[in-house]
């Protein structure tokens, strides 16, 4: 089916679809992390604790992870045109609520509505682009998607720093609203309908189990530090519900999410590599921004400038990694990226109040280059052996696991950094956690390289 679409779609239409999808996904992902730089500002203006305001970023990421499993059924149940227009429309509504928000809880609602659209859009973008291009272009296409997935979150805090310094946090919504409205209008006239809805039955019990289990487990993780008994209870109950969700998917003829894909060796191992890389990316970005503002006492704009060179380096690297993967494979790209990520950790694990800003900036650049070398090849390699009809399920599962892990990473590092009396010591400990994640990533990848020819 994917091959037929790739062979028959008009090249100009393919280009138009690609541009619309990449731009809308970029804005969605950029919006995901724009609040990173804004957290200290909103914390002060709305008189909320850091633990509370971090829900503006953690909640967004968590909800993406919760709604993404629903996306595979949406692709089958509705036409691609309906999914796209409905998703962009939902994002516009969330952004409008953010423009008008008068208190923290309305602001949080705006973020959660945006996240509902963001979770669907990210999977829709990748599934669609894989479908409309031939398999021999897959590395390049996933490289383009990887560029958006990596650069969007990376540039968000920097751009937000400029906006916060010049205008204020409300303009984080106001400035992107007309762009997304314009994308919806262009999509209405340009976006083709190349899929037909299938007569499938949505298993609503699976939907309930997925939403309830994910919500309880993830919220439990985030509150376990302040309310450990309640957090642990929610985590355990959520895990039990998710167990029954997975068990039900294995028994359904038309599962909401085909979890059997995880049995594919390449998918299982490379998704784990991508998860580790994404956890380090989001966690590092959040912690460096908070440290710069709360310890180094720089402005939100300066904090954004610390992250900007790394974001640019990440984008430039990601732009060539896809083609490099098509030609040379993943082996040396991922290993080189992992080594750079380890080197970049050196000043952060010994960081102090006197650490110069330029050192943080330079080594953050190295971290982001290393992350780009790992991320796109990991996604591309994970699709080895995935049948075309299973691409939507593989994409949804991949994105779900990655986003949930990213949310856990941000919360985990913030919680860890808050445990010691000194935030500087907490920062060091949290950076050691990122080192462990990188070592785990390399160990998994090396094991995969050794065994991929003998296992499927």
pLDDT in tens, 169-209: 889 999 999 999 999 999 888 887 776 666 667 777 888 88
Domain that holds residue 402: 2-202+256-451
Q: How far apart are CA 379 and CA 26, in angstroms?
A: 17
DSSP secondary structure of 295-362: TS---HHHHHHHHHHHHHHHHHHHHHHHHHHHHH-SHHHHHHHHHHHHHHTHHHHT--TT--HHHHHH
Do 49 and 7 sit in the same domain of this protein?
yes
pLDDT score recorded for residue 365: 92
User: Residue 131 corresponds to which tokens in the numbers above?
Assistant: 């479908």
Buried b (16+ CB within 10 A) or exposed e, 143-172: bbbbbbbbbbbbbbbbbbbebbbeeebeeb
Whether 218 and 242 share a structural domain: yes
- For 398, half-sphere exposure in the C-beta direction (CA atoms, 13 angstrom radius) is 32
Question: What percent helix, strand, coil does the chain show, rounded to 5?
Answer: 85, 0, 15
Taking Cα atoms as reference points, which of 216, 278, 261 lies closest to residue 405?
A: 278
- Please identify, among 188, 223, 255, the residue that sits at the C-terminal boundary of a domain: 255
Together in a domain, 275 and 420: yes
User: Is residue 108 within 8 Å of 56, Cβ to Cβ?
Assistant: yes
Of 220, 255, 290, the residue that ends a domain is: 255
Q: How far apart are the first and last CA of the chain?
A: 23
Among 221, 239, 255, where does a domain finish?
255
**CA neighbor of 143 nearest in space, from 266, 323, 384:** 323
Measured at the alpha carbon of residue 20, what is the angle toward residues 17 and 22, in degrees to the nearest 5? 100
Contact (Cβ atoms closer than 8 angstroms) between residue 147 and residue 376: yes
Considering the domain boundaries, does residue 128 fall inside one? yes
Residues 354 and 439 in one domain: yes
Residue 332 shares a structural domain with residue 243: no
Mean pLDDT of 132-155: 73
Q: Enumerate residues 6+ apart whose C-beta is below 8 A from 192.
A: 9, 13, 17, 81
* Residue 451 CB contacts under 8 Å (≥ 6 apart), including other chains: 265
Q: The pTM is what? A: 0.72
Please give the structure tokens belonging to residue 252: 């359904």
DSSP 8-state symbol, 226: T
- State whether 238 and 386 are in the same domain: no
Confidence band (pLDDT; 50, 70, 90) for 3? Answer: very low
> 197: how many CB neighbours lie within 10 A of its CB?
13
Residues 272 and 243 occupy one common structural domain: no
Q: Please report where in the chains the tokens 């037929």 appear, as a residue.
A: 4
Q: Is residue 456 part of a domain?
A: no
Cα(432)–Cα(420) distance, integer angstroms: 14
What average pLDDT score do residues 71-100 get? 85
On whether both 235 and 282 belong to a single domain, the answer is no
Residue with tokens 């962009």: 88
Clarify whether residues 124 and 6 are in a common domain. yes
Whole-number Å distance between alpha carbons of 194 and 298 = 50
**Do 179 and 95 belong together in one domain?**
yes
| Residue pLDDT, tens place only, 232-264 | 888 899 889 988 988 888 888 777 777 888 888
Residues of the chain above pLDDT 70, percent = 91
The per-residue pLDDT of the chain, averaged, comes to 82
Q: Look at residue 254 in the predicted model and tell me its pLDDT.
A: 76
Total tally of structural domains belonging to the chain: 2
Specify whether 79 is located in the same domain as 148: yes
Q: Say if residue 197 is in the same domain as residue 215.
A: no
CATH number for the domain including 114?
1.20.1250.20
């Amino acid at each position: 089916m994917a091959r037929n679409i790739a062979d028959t779609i008009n090249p100009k239409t393919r280009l138009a679809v690609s541009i619309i999808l990449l731009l809308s996904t970029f804005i969605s992902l950029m919006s995901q992390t724009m609040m990173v730089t804004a957290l200290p500002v909103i914390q002060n203006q709305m008189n909320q604790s850091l633990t509370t305001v971090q829900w503006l970023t953690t909640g967004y990421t968590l909800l993406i992870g919760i709604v993404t499993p629903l996306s595979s059924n949406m692709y089958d149940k509705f036409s691609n045109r309906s999914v796209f227009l409905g998703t962009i429309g939902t994002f516009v509504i969330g952004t409008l609520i953010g423009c008008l928000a008068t208190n923290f809880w309305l602001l949080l609602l705006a973020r959660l509505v945006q996240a509902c659209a963001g979770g669907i859009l990210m999977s829709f973008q990748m599934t669609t682009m894989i479908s409309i291009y031939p398999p021999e272009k897959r590395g390049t296409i996933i490289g383009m998607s990887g560029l958006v997935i990596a650069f969007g979150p990376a540039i968000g805090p920097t751009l937000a720093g400029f906006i916060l310094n010049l205008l204020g946090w409300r303009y984080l919504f106001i400035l992107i609203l007309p762009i997304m409205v314009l994308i919806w209008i262009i999509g209405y006239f340009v976006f083709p309908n190349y899929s037909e809805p299938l007569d499938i039955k949505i298993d609503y019990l699976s939907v309930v189990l997925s939403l309830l289990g994910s919500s309880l487990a993830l919220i439990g993780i985030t509150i376990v530090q302040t309310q450990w008994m309640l957090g642990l209870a929610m985590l355990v109950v959520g895990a039990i519900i998710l167990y029954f969700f997975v068990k039900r998917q294995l028994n359904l003829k038309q599962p909401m999410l085909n979890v059997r894909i995880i049995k594919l060796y390449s998918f299982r191992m490379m998704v784990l590599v991508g998860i580790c890389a994404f956890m380090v990316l989001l966690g590092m970005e959040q912690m460096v921004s908070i440290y710069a503002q709360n310890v180094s006492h720089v402005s939100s704009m300066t904090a954004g400038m610390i992250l900007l060179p790394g974001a640019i380096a990440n984008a430039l690297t990601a732009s060539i990694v896809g083609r490099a993967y098509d030609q040379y494979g993943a082996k040396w790209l991922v290993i080189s990226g992992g080594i750079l990520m380890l080197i970049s950790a050196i000043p952060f694990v010994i960081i102090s109040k006197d650490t110069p800003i330029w050192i943080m900036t330079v080594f953050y650049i190295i971290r982001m280059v290393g992350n780009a070398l790992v991320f796109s090849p990991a996604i591309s390699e994970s699709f080895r052996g995935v049948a075309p009809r299973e691409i939507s399920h593989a994409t949804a599962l991949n994105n779900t696991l990655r986003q949930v892990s990213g949310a856990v990473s941000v919360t985990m590092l913030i919680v860890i950094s808050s445990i010691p009396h000194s935030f500087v010591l907490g920062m060091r400990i949290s950076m050691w956690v990122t080192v462990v994640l990188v070592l785990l990533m390399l160990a998994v990848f090396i094991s995969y390289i050794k065994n991929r020819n003998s296992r499927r």
